[in-house]
Structures are given as C-alpha cells and as structure tokens.
Amino acid sequence: MHVLVLGGTTEARSLAEALHARPGLRVTSSLAGRVAAPRLPPGEVRIGGFGGADGMARWLGEHAVSAVIDATHPFAETISFNAAGAAATAHVPLLALRRPGWVPGEGDDWREVASLAEAARAVPDTGRRVFLTTGRMGLATFAHIDDAFFLVRSVDAPEPPGPPHMELLLDRGPFTLDGEREILARHRIDVLVTKDSGGAATAPKLTAAREAAVPVIVVRRPPAPGGVPVAATVAEAADWVQALSGAASG
C-alpha cells in the first residue's frame, strides 16, 4: 500500500514516522518547499507543488497511491481543496488530519478576526508592542502600521515589506511556557497576534498571554473542503490507514 502524506506540520511528520514503522506500507511525504531546511520525516519525501488538483490527480495515478492523508496546516487552504479534488478524480480515499482549534479559557482576552487584514486593522486599537506569530507569508499585511513595534517570529526570514519598527526572532516550535513568558516580558508585549493553528507545540504563548493579561488577536481558520473524513490525532489517522490496508489485504 502506498500512502501519500501531505505535510508541513509536526503531526504530518509524526504520522510518517508511525506509518513508516509498519511493514508493508510505503509512505511518501509531500512538502511545499517553503522552509529552507525542513525537518524531514522518514520514508520517501517529495518537495514542491503538484501543479494544482489535476497535477496531484496525475501524480496519484502515476505513483499508484492507495490513500492520501491531508496533514497540512489548517491555514493551508488551497492544498486541502486540491487534495479533495484530486482524490475524487483519482478515486483514492482521502482523510484530513486536522488538529482541533484552540478554545479560550477562563481569563483569556481573545479578539477573533476572520483574516490577517482584519487582524492588522485591530492592532492599533489593541496595543503598541505586538508579538506577531502568524508566519512570514502575510507580513506585508502589517507593513503600513508605523506606530507600533512588532516582534515577528518565523522559521525563515520573511521577505520585505514588513512594518518599519520590527525585530525578527527566527525560531520554530515547540515552544515552552517559560520561554514565551520571557519573550512577553523582555519585549514588553501588549498584544499577541496568532492564527488559530491549534496543537500543543505553539499553545504556550496563549497561556503566557493570559497570565500577563495580554490581549490576543486570533485569526479564525479558513473553510475546509466538505465531505472529507477528519481525524484529530496522529493515532486516529494511523488507525484509518490500518483499516484500509486490512480491507485491501482481506
């Protein structure tokens, strides 16, 4: 059985590890190629776009793929819709591995917005010292804000333009609560901006913000394709593959 894991997340890597350990399974992980030095999962790895849903459908056929798991980031909207289209065209079963979104708790001061642009509009009314953790891709959306300081954390350096008053923190999760507390205090952060990525690896910033009474602008998730079964954990996704391979061999 040949399983294609659409990756770029911690969960995708863990899933590739779990599946790679199982005899009789061939696992290929697909990465977009956005990160200069990605942490590579075990098994085969392909890097770069497929050329839309049609390109992916062709790839599935040419490589005799028997199942696809879309374990991409909840904000990677295009690839998820492409996977749904490609799997339908190629008649290959598809599962989405999607971590649940974060939920505010007692003491949280969250302002939910629908987009990065809306987050940028909300910044001036919320704070002047911003911890921006939405990744390097949308930085230009904040470039016009010249009366606030931005601490921008991303895996690779963003392309300009960015806000005029900014400091770059190159790092990738998982992050610790102590580390996040220290960042908020050292930079006197008074607003955190995040996507609702979900998952444990980047959640400590939310706890640190709650403790420090720092408001959080949370960008809600984009829509996901309908009709695709969803697993919330790596174990659930691995079980889905197991059930398929059992059905194929039985």
Which residues form the interface with ligand NAP (CB under 6 A)?
6-9, 30-32, 34, 49-52, 55-56, 72-73, 75-79, 82, 135, 195
CB 69 within 8 A of CB 176: no
**Which of residues 14 and 30 has its CB atom nearest to ligand NAP in the complex?**
30
CB of 244 to ligand NAP, least distance (A): 21
Among all residues, whose Cβ is closest to ligand NAP?
49
Q: Whose Cβ is closer to ligand NAP: residue 198's or residue 215's?
A: 198
> Beta-strand (E) ranges in the chain?
2-6, 26-31, 44-47, 67-70, 94-97, 110-113, 129-132, 149-154, 166-170, 191-195, 216-219, 230-231
At closest approach, how far in Å is the CB of 142 from ligand NAP? 15
Q: Which is nearer to ligand NAP, 2 or 129 (CB)?
A: 2
Distance of CA 30 to the CA centre of its chain: 14
What are the residues whose beta carbons fall under 8 Å from the beta carbon of 53, sequence distance 6 or more?
A: 81, 82, 83, 84, 85, 86, 89
Q: Report yes or no: 43 and 22 within 8 Å, Cβ to Cβ.
A: no
CB of 153 to ligand NAP, least distance (A): 12
Give whichever of 32 and 87 is closer to ligand NAP, judged by the CB atom: 32
Nearest approach in angstroms of CB 143 to ligand NAP is 18
